[in-house]
Amino acid sequence: MFWSVTQSLLGGLLTTFQIFIFTLLIALPLGLIIAFGAMSKFKPLRYLVDVLVWIIRGTPLMLQLIIIFYGPGLWLGHNIWSGNETGRITATVVAFSINYACYFSVIFRGGIEGVPVGQREAGEVLGMTKSQIFFKVTLLQMVKRVVPPMSNEIITLVKDTSLARIIAAYELTFAGYSFMKSDGLTWPLFYTGVFYLLFVGILTLLFNYIERKLDYFR
């Protein structure tokens, strides 16, 4: 029994991990773009971004996931997500990416605005272009500032992946829960918890490593 539970949970973990990693890969750059939008000199764009962030942060992620997964099928008459596991994971990644990008954007924005103006000005008088100033001067200082709040969000993301169960994606929590439903077993639930703890534990070590790596400057 232990072995078959482990196998199921590993299967669920794979889905959880896929949602996690693809969401990060999309939401990190997307969040940066949204942060630039929020800091734009062009007012309509700024307002648009403000409204988007307000809506996304102001409504439950589970609700957003339901709308994104079922909405297209109901409005267009056919489901744009294929009905298999891949389709469910894709829809989840889309919903999560939009949601997390909005949270990330607020953190990025704080990180960029926290870099003293003098840094940009020093770059300007040295004849650097805007993109050179961002990539060579601002970026690393921003990264250093955002690591602690980002690690919080990213750890939350690990556990939020369990919301994908609502559209029947077979992720880790779903896997653990199924043994309670079918066999009345509760220990797989705790076993599931151990998987999450290990996942988050590895991430915590990674964040500590990054923080130490960036400790060489102030």
Q: What residues make contact with another protein under the rule CB under 8 A?
A: 116, 118-119, 121-129, 132, 136-137, 140-141, 216-218
Q: Taking the complex as a whole, how short is the minimal distance between the CB of residue 212 and another protein, in angstroms? A: 15
Residue 75 or 217 with smaller CB distance to another protein: 217
Residue 129 or 208: the one with the smaller Cβ distance to another protein is 129
Least CB distance from residue 53 to another protein, whole Å?
A: 29
Cα–Cα separations (whole angstroms), residue 60 to 33, 64, 123, 192: 23, 7, 42, 24
Provide the minimum distance between the beta carbon of 123 and another protein in the complex, in angstroms, as a whole number: 8
Distances 17 to 1, 9, 47, 136, 162 between C-alpha atoms, Å? 24, 12, 34, 32, 11
By C-beta, is 58 or 127 nearer to another protein? 127
Burial 166-204 (b: 16+ CB within 10 A, else e): ebebbbbbbbbbbbeeeeeeeebeebbeebbeebeeebe
Which CB sits closer to another protein, 57 or 130? 130
Is the Cβ–Cβ distance between 81 and 71 less than 8 Å? no
DSSP, residue by residue, 169-200: ---HHHHHHHHHHHH---HHHHHHHHHHHHHH
Return the number of other C-beta atoms located less than 10 Å from residue 19's C-beta: 28
List the one residue out of 95, 106, 97, 93 whose CA is nearest residue 53.
Answer: 106
Residue 128 or 185: the one with the smaller Cβ distance to another protein is: 128
How far apart are CB 124 and another protein at their closest, in Å? 7
Q: Which is nearer to another protein, 116 or 193 (CB)?
A: 116
Joined tokens for residue 38: 């929020």
Minimum CB distance to another protein, residue 216 (Å): 7
Least distance from another protein to the Cβ atom of residue 122, Å: 4
